[in-house]
Structure 1
Amino acid sequence: MNPNRPISEVMTSKLITVGPAASAHHIKAIFDQNEFHHLPVVESNDKLLGIISKQDFYKVAYVLSLQTTGRTWSEKEYEVLRAKDLMTEHPLSLEPEDTIGLAADIFLANQFHAIPVIEAERLIGLVTTHDLLLYSFNSPIVEEWP
C-alpha cells in the first residue's frame, strides 16, 4: 500500500445524504435499507453540516427508550427528532488530495471510522476505514508502512 496516494483514489463518491430537517424515521429507514454506517448531513448546495453514524443513531434510540414510558411515547419523540439534532456538527474533514496515510493516521488516533472529503466547501466523498482496508488488501504490491 502506498500511503502517499490521494484519498480521492479510495473514497466513496456516490453518497446518500440528508438535509438537516430529515426526520429520525427517515434516517432509520436509510440505515435499515443500506449497508453503510455513516450518513452526511448537508445543505442544498452540498455544504457539509454534520454526520450521523449508525452507532450514534442507535445510541440515541436506546437512551430515548430508557427515558420514555413506552413505544408510543418513543414514536412521538422520533417525530420531533431531526438530523440536525442527531448529527455530529463540524466533523473533521479532508480534501481529495490529502493522502491515504494521513487518513489512516487520523483513524488510528481517533474513535471514528469515516471522514468526509470536501472540495470548494462541497461534500464530494467519504473515506472510511473499510475503504482503506479494501485498498490495502486489493493492492497488487503491499509496501511496508514507514
Structure 2
Amino acid sequence: MRKNEPIATIMSTELVTAHVGQKLSEVRALLSQGHIHHIPVLSGERLVGLISSADILKAGYGGSDSEIDSTLDFTAKLEDVMQNNPTTISAQSTVRDAAEILAEGSFHCLPVVKDEKLVGIVTTTDLLRYLVAQY
C-alpha cells in the first residue's frame, strides 16, 4: 500500500442515497436492487445518517420481504432505524486513514465528505480490493 494514496483512489462516487422521511420499504428495495449494504441518508444535501441492510434486518425481525416491508412502513421511520451522525472521512484523507478508522470502529462503511457535502463512500470491501490489487 502506498503510504499517501488518496481516498479518491478507492471510494465509490456513484452513490445511492436515501432521504429523511423515505419509507423503509423503499430503502430496503434500494439496497436489494443495488446489491449494496450501506446507504447514506440525507436531509437536503446534508449527511445526517447511514442505514445498512443489517439495520433493516434488526428492525424487521425476520420474515418474508413483503412482511418486513409492510411491518416496517407502519411501525418505524427511517430516522428511527438509521445510524445518526455516522463517522465520516474527509475527501483529503488517505487510504491508510480510512483503514485505521475502519479497523478501530464497529462499522464497515465511511461516508466521504468535502465541505460538509457527501462526495463518496468507502467500505471494508473497497479496502480489501485495493489491498488485493497491490499484491
After TM superposition, is the score higher than 0.5?
A: yes
> Residues of 2 paired with 1:123 and 1:77: CA distance?
27
Kept after mapping to 2: 8 A contact 1:38/1:54: yes
Shift of 1:104: 0.7
User: Is 1:132 aligned to 2:127, yes or no?
Assistant: yes
Shift of 1:79: 3.1
Alignment of 1:1-146 (within 5 A): 1-44=1-44, 46-62=45-61, 71=67, 75-139=70-134, 142=135
SS in 1 for 2:129: helix
Shift of 1:75: 2.2
Kept after mapping to 2: 8 A contact 1:11/1:126: yes
TM-score by length of 1: 0.82
Shift of 1:37: 0.4
| Larger strand proportion of the pair | 2
Q: Deviations over 1:55-104 (max 9, x none)?
A: 111111118x7xxxxx59x8254235332121111111011111111111
CA RMSD of aligned residues (A): 2.0
Shift of 1:125: 0.4
Q: Point out the structure with max Rg over C-alpha.
A: 1
> Residues of 2 paired with 1:26 and 1:133: CA distance?
29
SS in 1 for 2:89: coil
Shift of 1:4: 1.9
> Residues of 1 paired with 2:15 and 2:8: CA distance?
14
Larger RCO: Structure 1 or Structure 2 (Cα < 8 Å, ≥ 6 residues apart)? 1
> Residues of 2 paired with 1:77 and 1:52: CA distance?
14
How many residue pairs match? The answer is 132
TM-score by length of 2: 0.88
- Percent identical pairs in the alignment equals 31
* Amino acid corresponding to residue 98 of structure 1 in structure 2: S
> Residues of 2 paired with 1:11 and 1:90: CA distance?
20
Kept after mapping to 1: 8 A contact 2:25/2:72: no
* Amino acid corresponding to residue 55 of structure 1 in structure 2: A
Structure 2's unaligned 5+ residue stretches are none
Kept after mapping to 1: 8 A contact 2:59/2:72: no
